[in-house]
Each structure stands twice: as C-alpha cells, then as structure tokens.
Copies of this chain bind each other. A is one copy, B any other.
C-alpha cells in the first residue's frame, strides 16, 4: 500500500533506468490507473502503445536526441540550472534508451477535437506517472520525440486519427531519485482575484 500524498510529493522525472524488464501485470496496473483519469464526456480518448522492442525504443530515443540537438538544448540551456541541464543531457544521451518500456500516449481525434484533447489526455498521463511512482518505478513525461510526430506515428503504425501526445519511459531507476523542487503554494495561489496573494 502506497500513501497517496507521499506518492504525489515524491514523483520526479527519472532519466536513467536499470535494465531489468517490467512484467505485463505491472504495466497493466499502471495503464489501468491511467484509464481512471477523467475525460470530457467520459469519452476516454486515450490510446497507449507499449513499446518494449529494443530497436523501436532506440528509434524513439533517437527522435528525442534529434529534437534536442535541433533546438531543444539551445532553448533550455538559458533556463535550466546546470545540474538539471546535465541530468537532461544524460537522459537524452542514453538514459532514455535504457528504459525497458516506453509508453506512447495518444489522443484519439475521433473522440475529441484538438481543442479538448489535452484536458482529456494529460490527466491520464499524470495517473500513469503517479502509478509508476507508487510502484517504485521511475518515469518521465517527455514530449521531445513529438517534434517528429510523423516518424513516430509511422514507427508505431498509428492511424491518422491518433495524435501522439506524450512519450513516457518506464523502469526501475538506475539511482535513487532526489526530491522534486517546487515553489511553495504561496507563490502560486491567490484568493478571489489575481494579485491578492495567498
């Protein structure tokens, strides 16, 4: 049994994974959690493609690397702390590809147009990440490979109606994850009107 608030407070992006595989039962437990997220009109417009094949995982990692080299690094380097930048570099340089499972979460445009899909798909992604944390796994919400959506869709045989929206590596963390760093509620909340503070 995992305490809900402890899970929430310890969730953190993992960028280096141990090689041990994940059982089908475990992956299914995480996906079941994902499917319990809310969605507009309960239409459940999510589709999960679970990738274990080494070559396909390497291809997805390669798309992330190309997006990073092609502009992601330049954009991030002015904004990330040097520690976080090194962590991300390490993930893209190889850590990402070490995850034994990569889940590509897609939105079904037949069940919701592009305007409403994010509100109905990212809550499911968050459930997936939290369930991974609750199960002692590392995970991350990545979108870099989506810079090459067409290639990703082709590799996964996605029909035109499906839009890949998040790429989530899963596996045992290679090293213990540190605590997440967040600004306090008082920096982000306001009473009644913006500017009133908390």
Residues of A in contact with B (beta carbons under 8 Å apart): 1-5, 7-9, 11-13, 28-29, 31-33, 35-38, 40-44, 46-53, 56, 76, 79-80, 84, 106, 116, 118-119, 121-123, 125-127, 129-131, 134, 140-141, 143, 156-159, 162, 165-166, 180-185, 188-195, 198
On chain B, the residues within 8 Å of A185 by CB distance are 28, 31-32, 35, 48
Jot down 11 A-B pairs with beta carbons below 8 A, ordered by A.
A8-B127, A32-B185, A35-B182, A35-B185, A41-B79, A44-B183, A53-B192, A106-B194, A119-B141, A123-B141, A126-B126
- With CB as the reference atom, state the residue of chain B lying closest to A111: B79
**Given known A-B contacts A42-B181, A119-B141, A194-B159, A36 and B8 have beta carbons under 8 A apart:** yes
Indicate how many identical chains form the complex. 2
Q: Which residues of B contact A47 (CB under 8 A)?
A: 188-190, 194
Q: In whole Å, how far is A109's beta carbon from the nearest beta carbon of chain B?
A: 14
Question: What's the Cα separation between A172 and B80 when bound, in Å?
Answer: 40
In Å, the complex CA distance between A43 and B159 comes to 33
Of the residues B46, B127, B140, contact of A126 by C-beta under 8 Å: B127
**Contact status of A130 and B38, CB under 8 A, knowing A47-B194, A185-B32, A188-B31:** no
